[in-house]
Amino acid sequence: MRADRLVATLLLMQSRGRVTAAEVAGELEVSVATARRDLEALSAAGVPVYPQPGRGGGWSLVGGARTDLSGLTSVEAQALFLLAGPGAAVSPEVRSALRKLVRALPDTFREQAEAAASAVVVDSARWGEADRERPALVELLQEATVRRRKVRLVYASRGRERAERLVEPWGLIDKDDLWYLIAGTAAGQRTFRLDRIAEAVVTGEPASRPADFELGEAWRRVVDEVELKRSLVSATVLLEPRFVFVLRSHFGRHCHVEGEVADGRARVRVAAPAPVMIAQQLAGWGDQVEVVESEPVRAELARIGAELARRYGPS
């Protein structure tokens, strides 16, 4: 609508002091002619806006007149624009409004708000982990990401002793309350689980981030690699449709309903890194689940059943 465009134009002039019609057009994604008409409309409406012809000219607010339609502090601006980060659950209209608002902030605030908007990705799909509390390190690492400061970590990878790493934080991932840090290291891009970080100290050293780095895309590549490892083996099973949701809770995105068979049971394909991992999830179902494809999984189920029979069957 034109009204919000006029407000955005006025705030843009406030933050930059002087603008050209071409700059307004580029920022608000309208034509130069539309931007020029909006500037003229502001002037005609009595807003102290006037053009300066010639080289280095443009449109300015008379006497540096200002209107504060945001009233945001630096911290408030960062918190607000975290809502607009990749994967955040906001509507396109809200995201558009936030983008317009960030253009009106003072230069320092705008840089920090834009950095905050790209500092966190939210991915609600679970990897079968139990619910967790938000790690205390989230705020510290988020601030280091926004301020572009290197962080010294003490990190314990799976099955290994703790090691100290100096990293450049590029962004945080909230995967259904399981948090990850994507960072640059001497060996290239790496992903760290926050619950394995024993210590984190923000240093005074400036951190850099590749110009073409996009947090959402980087996380998608990480997810693709992890999911590939998690789906090396698949099996097709039959069960009553009312129990499909339980399989989904066990296998997450590696549970696909393929249809229904003649007797009314659902045909579902599940996947995991190894046959034994599928068998372990299905063993407790007894004969309520039938594995119709995947001999390795059937063999693991038979092995588990024999072990249980030996231990708990009549002597």
Q: What is the pLDDT of residue 282?
A: 92
Rounded Cα–Cα distance for residues 27 and 52 (Å): 20
Q: What are phi and psi of 56, to 5 degrees?
A: 75, 10
Ranking 55-59, 197-201, 271-275, 308-312 by mean pLDDT, the lowest is: 55-59
Which domain, by its residues, includes 183?
122-228
Number of domains in the chain: 3
* Residue 25 belongs to some domain of the structure: yes
Q: Which tokens hold the place of 4?
A: 């919000």
Residues in the chain: 315
3-state class of 234 per DSSP? strand
51 in the same domain as 21: yes
Q: Tell me the pLDDT band of 3, cut-offs 50, 70 and 90.
A: low
Is residue 103 one of the residues assigned to a domain? no
Same domain (yes/no): 127, 190: yes
- Shared domain for 179 and 139, answered yes or no, is yes
The CATH number for 188's domain is 2.30.30.520
> What is the band of 82 on the pLDDT scale with cuts at 50, 70, 90?
low
CATH number at residue 27: 1.10.10.10
Closest CA to 281 of 248, 242, 240, 310: 248
Residue 144 pLDDT greater than 70, yes or no: yes
Distance CA 135, CA 264 (A): 45
Q: Is residue 96 part of a domain?
A: no
Q: Which of 228, 253, 278 is a domain's end point?
A: 228
Contact 185, 165 (CB under 8 A): yes
Three-state secondary structure readout of 278-313: HHHHHHHHHHHCEEEECHHHHHHHHHHHHHHHHHHC
Would 88 be classed as within a structural domain? Answer: no
β pairing state of 18-19 and 58-61:
antiparallel
Pair 215, 118: CB distance under 8 Å: yes
Q: Could you give the CA distance from residue 293 to residue 305 in angstroms, rounded to a whole number?
A: 18
For residues 210 and 292, state if they share a domain: no
CB atoms within 10 A of CB 146: 22
**104 is a domain residue:** no
Q: What is the pLDDT of residues 211-231, one digit of tens each?
A: 889 888 898 888 888 877 777
CATH number assigned to the domain comprising residue 243: 3.30.70
pTM over 0.75: no
CA atoms of 197 and 156, how far apart (whole Å): 7
Look at the block and give the residue holding tokens 């990897």: 127
Specify the higher pLDDT residue, 151 or 229.
151
Residue 180 has pLDDT above 60, yes or no: yes
Backbone φ and ψ for 135, nearest 5 degrees, come out as -65, 145
Query: Closest Cα to residue 81, out of 142, 12, 168, 17?
Result: 142
**Residue 106 within a domain:** no
> For 294-304, how does the pLDDT look when each residue is reduced to its tens digit (9 = 90+)?
899 999 999 99
On the question of pLDDT at 83 being above 70, the answer is no
Q: Write the CA distances from 199 to 136, 141, 152, 240, 261, integer angstroms.
A: 11, 11, 8, 48, 54
DSSP H/E element including 232? none
pLDDT at 4 over 90: no
Q: Which of 179, 211, 228 is the last residue of a domain?
A: 228
